Structure 1
Amino acid sequence: MIAKVNLLPWREEGRKRYRQRFGFMLAGAAAMVVVLIGLVGWLLDWQQGIQSGRNARISQEVTMLEEKLALLPEMDAQREALLKRLSVITDIQQGRNHITQLLSLLPGLVPQGVYLDDISLTGNNVKLSGKGESNGHLAILLANAEQSAWIEGITMHSIVRAKEETTLIRFKASFVINPVQQAHRNEGGGQ
């Protein structure tokens, strides 16, 4: 009976099932590849959308910063104008201090017997002209100026006996109010 058993159809049927199973697996793999490619494409589109949003946000921020940077030259010009105004105000304030300082120095500087006709203040430079009863009184004026910590560079420019007044001597002098002493006084609270 074994000789009558034909195994060819059974083998043929096994091969047919094997081919069908291989076809299903191949179709399944192809479907998986298609799904996987679709999923990767969707993921890349999603990431691209997120990156596009980020790029748009960065572009918007860059535009805002460029607008702000465009204002910098105008702000620098305003700053320079304010600094100039502040400088003018500081100069005026220092000028007030020089006048006050000069007026507070003069009573201790000018002795009796010396009479001032003209006082001019330009910055820190002071020019005096007047009359004195004697050379001794003018020497006291110079000595007082040299002893003052507030005055430097005292110079007597001329001493002339007035022709119309034989008792008085005309003089012209100049000195500089010491800006270092002025600064120390301002820092020390006006002492």
Structure 2
Amino acid sequence: MILINLLPHREEKRQRRKAAFYAGLGLAAVIGAGVVALWFGVLQQMISNQQGRNNFLSAEIRKLEAQIKDIATLRAEIEALKARQAAVENLQLDRNVPVHILNELVRHTPEGVYFTSVRQDGQVLNITGVSQTNERMSEFLRNTGNNSAWLTKPELIEIKLANQQPGANRNLPRLFDFSVRLSVKRQQDQSPPAAEAASAPAPAVAAR
């Protein structure tokens, strides 16, 4: 007996394949959505961890900035203390300088040269006075320039006749008014022998 299938089996197979395709497509979509959700969760966790590290680093940076400010303040205080210490040391070293300067002037001023004003301004010594001759003034400049341990770089600012006025007695000896500028050496700039001599008690100053 021969059986003949008269049902539309091709259409039925097509429907089954289409249903299987859609089922596979839905399953792929579900799996894809799960993968995306899982990856999103992983990314969120990574972002959260990184944010925590960033917050930690920011806090540590703020601590370091505060420490740096403290260090800068300490350095400024140290520099100020060093400056005050240096000022005190300089005052300690310079306290006997005027005595040494006067001794040097007495020692290196030749006869016939008289001072009317001696004024020290820092490391500069300004002297005005009277000299009997130009030669005596030149000798004073040579002595202070070459032989003095405390005075250096003598500079003659001005020298002029002192008593050449109308009606003046021509029999009077000629005198010269002068103005001199010298540099004063500090004790720390002295050579070792001169520094030792400077640290010794200064002799009495004799008036010229």
TM-superposed CA distance for 1:17, in Å, is 1.6
d(CA) in 2 for partners of 1:35, 1:51: 24
Which residue is 1:133 aligned to?
none
TM-superposed CA distance for 1:105, in Å, is 0.9
Where in structure 2 are the equivalents of 1:129-168 lying within 5 Å? 139=132, 143-149=135-141, 150=144
d(CA) in 2 for partners of 1:42, 1:178: 82
Note the residue ranges of structure 2 that are not aligned, 5 or more in a row.
Answer: 145-153, 163-176, 195-208
Which residue is 1:134 aligned to?
none
Alpha-carbon contact 1:125-1:175 (below 8 Å) kept: no
Q: Does residue 27 of structure 1 match 2:33?
A: no
Which residue is 1:82 aligned to?
85
Which residue of 16, 19, 36 corresponds with 1:13?
A: 16
d(CA) in 1 for partners of 2:161, 2:82: 45
d(CA) in 1 for partners of 2:127, 2:161: 12
d(CA) in 2 for partners of 1:52, 1:99: 71
Which residue of 66, 70, 81 corresponds with 1:67?
A: 70
Alpha-carbon contact 1:121-1:127 (below 8 Å) kept: yes
Which residue is 1:110 aligned to?
111
Where in structure 2 are the equivalents of 1:164-179 lying within 5 Å? 178-179=181-182
- Name the structure where helix makes up a greater proportion of residues: 1
Give the TM-score, by structure 1 length.
0.57
Where in structure 2 are the equivalents of 1:118-137 lying within 5 Å? 123=120, 124=125
TM-superposed CA distance for 1:93, in Å, is 5.7
- SS of the residue aligned with 1:179? strand
Change (3 A) 1:187 1:11: same
RMSD: 4.4
Q: Does residue 57 of structure 1 match 2:49?
A: no
Q: Which has the higher contact order (CA 8 A, sep 6+)?
A: 2
Cα offsets for 1:131-159 (capped at 9, x unmatched)? xxxxxxx847x7424432137568999xx
Q: Kindly, what percent of the aligned residue pairs are identical? A: 12
d(CA) in 1 for partners of 2:92, 2:189: 18
Note the residue ranges of structure 1 that are not aligned, 5 or more in a row.
Answer: 129-137, 158-173
Alpha-carbon contact 1:145-1:154 (below 8 Å) kept: no
Aligned residues between the structures: 157
d(CA) in 1 for partners of 2:178, 2:96: 21
Give the TM-score, by structure 2 length.
0.53
